[in-house]
Amino acid sequence: MGQSIPLVCQDWANTKAAAYRFFSNERVSEADILAGHFQSTRDRAAAAEGLVLVLHDTTEFSYQREKSEAIGITKSINSGRDKAGRLRSHTVFGILMHSSLAVTIEGVPLGLAAVKFWTRKKFKGTAALKKKINPTRIPIEKKESVRWLENLKQSTQLLDHPGRCIHIGDRESDIYELFCAAQEIGTHFLIRTCVDRLAGDGDHTIADEMDEVAVKGLHRIEVRDSNGDPDQAVLEIRYRKIRVLPPIGKQKRYPALTLTVIMPKSAGPRRTERRSIGS
């Protein structure tokens, strides 16, 4: 565990013939390699009781390479200024992984239910296209965010019980096509929103409608302050079923959906709010 490939293979012949040729075989995908793990996840989920939470997120793996062709590029970041005061850009080489981890409601890991690996080169043309037209008019199949839909479908199919699954994602998963896909296959989701979408008949937004909702209850969370001392955060909880509309550029392709919007707001002096949406 944690050793280099040449060390594990013991000699160069095994390293080159067995390992590197296998890794360069385009007929072998990550799904093939992880097939045994996925089956174990399915078995553990079948043996567990209650709901299954499927946690979706993206991870970057960075590598030191002289040429981007060897591995790919994940992003360019600001690495400070040169002596003349000009900003310096640093290119990060690596790959991205989007994984879907199944856990019980008690937090017991069941295993990966889906995984995707890729580099930004695959969607290079889409990035250039976004600079010319409204990104909402680009088909989801041509965007990097299609990974959220693919993993939603694959993990639900693997676990073989759509109504038992709750898919959870951060603000990157606030994708209308994902909402539609979840309802189409009969599964549930809870995601943190980043877009104040049109609601009702289209003359107002989700935020406008949530402003009318009274507090339905309080939720207390045990936390620690900056000194490490125990403290308690109190959240006011508001929720309502709302008719949510697709983006204007997608209203001919996708229907309006009735979703449950949950808005927790701090009841303390520092009042902050977050919105989550689910089905």
The pLDDT score that the predictor gives to residue 70 is 67
Residue count of the chain, please give it: 279
CB 111 within 8 A of CB 101: yes
Answer with the residue of higher pLDDT: 89 or 40: 40
- Burial of residue 139 (CB within 10 Å: 0-12, 13-18, 19+) is exposed
The pLDDT score that the predictor gives to residue 161 is 95
Of the CA atoms within 13 Å of residue 179, those in its CB half-sphere come to: 25
Residue in this structure with the two tokens 């979840």, named with its chain if needed: 182
Q: Residue 103 and residue 67: Cα distance in Å, rounded?
A: 39
**Residue 272 zone, left/alpha/beta (φ > 0; ψ -120 to 50; rest):** beta
Of the candidates 114, 143, 107, the one whose C-alpha atom is nearest the C-alpha of residue 128 is 143
Tokens of 16: 């080159």
pTM of the model: 0.84
Give the angle 229-234-239 at the CA atoms, nearest 5°: 150
pLDDT band at 76 (very low <50, low <70, confident <90, very high): confident
Count, in order, helices (H) and strands (E) of the chain: 9, 12
What is the residue-averaged pLDDT of the chain? Answer: 88
pLDDT at 272 over 90: no
Which residues lie closer than 8 Å to 271 by C-beta, 6 or more apart?
265
Of the CA atoms within 13 Å of residue 88, those in its CB half-sphere come to: 9
Structural domains of the chain ordered from first start: 27-58+97-192 (3.90.350.10), 193-279 (no CATH)
Q: Which of 10-25 are b and which e, b meaning 16 or more Cβ less than 10 Å from the residue's Cβ?
A: eeeeebeeeeeeeeee
Q: Residue 144 and residue 51: Cα distance in Å, rounded?
A: 29
Give the tens place of pLDDT for each residue, 139-149. Answer: 888 888 999 99
Q: Residue 182 and residue 230: Cα distance in Å, rounded?
A: 39
Which residues lie closer than 8 Å to 16 by C-beta, 6 or more apart?
none
Return the SS3 of 212.
Answer: coil
* Lowest-confidence segment of 24-38, 103-117, 128-142, 200-214 by average pLDDT: 128-142
